[in-house]
Amino acid sequence: MWSDEARMLSDEVWQRMPRDIEIDVEENKESAEANIELDDWIAKAVGRGERRPTIRVWRHADVQGLVVSRRDVAGDAGQRAMQVMRDRGWSVFVRPTGGTAVPHGRGVLNLSLLLPRTREKATTDDYYRLLCGSLIAWLSSLGLKAATGEMPGSYCDGNYNVIVDGKKLVGTAQAWRGGLAGTASRHPGYVLAHACVMIDVDLAAALSAINTFYVEVGNPYRVDPATSTTLVERLRAHGIAEAFTAEQAQRSLADFLHRYYESLGITVHRQSHPELTARDGEPDRQE
């Protein structure tokens, strides 16, 4: 039913996924900062045991910009670069995970695994595999073959890019916070594993803005627009769909993950969202 690569995750890796989860499409359309910070807020509640481990499927606020790590904007040069970019029409937002800059906008879909830290030995690779495995399976259901790997020259490059047709479609990042979850610690811990999927974005403009930002920071890091792609481009290239909005992708991924996790014996709870109940406009699934 799902792609071979997603099914090849070891039992040890699957044990990192809690047996009772919530799929959440909550998002803040008014404040880009609050929307990004919502991951951290939910994850802290997960760590304290106040809510179920959460899979959040969300879109950015409708603001053109870049999302960067705290390290990117540290110091006077980073603060000046943020102002220069704002003056040029590109707001800069700071995320809790590491890595380099990624595009921000309504055409970007995000997948966040917000899971409690547990006593079992685990690695960042385990959580990246859980994150990417589900996305590879989703893309397979849409008719696209994907894999993970490095993509030198791409934005926020790493070992766990999701690549389709030799181009980067998804960037990933991860952060671990606090101690063990559910303890008496003031900071019970959580794992935030995050993926950023380019659905329908002007990548040429966005990646040019990333390069401009790093020029202003004084960092030699640069990206090559030829290394990356969007979901709309890949679907069109394979004759699957001419148009696929980020809202349709959000609905499609949330529905898919519900079926995917239930097929693995995981109990799934869904937060209702009246704007995401219709199924019109989705590409035909190929499960």
For residue 194, is pLDDT > 90?
A: yes
- Alpha carbons 233 and 223: distance in angstroms, whole number: 19
- Do residues 147 and 165 lie in contact, with contact meaning Cβ atoms separated by under 8 Å? no
C-alpha closest to that of 69 among 164, 170, 171: 171
Average pLDDT value for residue range 153-164: 94
Written as six digits, the tokens of 277 are 């109940």
How much is the pTM?
0.88
Q: CA-to-CA distance for 264 and 283, rounded, in angstroms? A: 24
pLDDT for the residue 281: 39
∠ Cα 118 176 127 (to 5°): 70
Per the structure block, which two tokens stand in for 20? Answer: 């009772």
In angstroms, what CA-CA distances link 198 with 20, 228, 238, 268?
29, 9, 17, 26
Catalytic residue list: 156
pLDDT over 70 percentage in the chain: 87
Q: How far apart are CA 156 and CA 105, in angstroms?
A: 16
Give the pair of three-digit tokens for residue 238: 């394979």
User: Comparing 131-140, 178-187, 247-256, which segment has the lowest mean pLDDT?
Assistant: 178-187
Type of residue numbered 14 = W
Q: Which long-range contacts (CB under 8 A, 24 or more apart) does 7-11 make?
A: 9/129, 9/130, 9/133
Torsion angles phi and psi, residue 195, rounded to 5: -125, 145
pLDDT beyond 50 at 273: no
What is the C-alpha separation between 106 and 124, in angstroms, rounded? 28
CATH number for the segment(s) 4-270: 3.30.930.10
Q: What percent of the chain has pLDDT over 90?
A: 62
**Distance between start and end Cα atoms, the chain:** 5
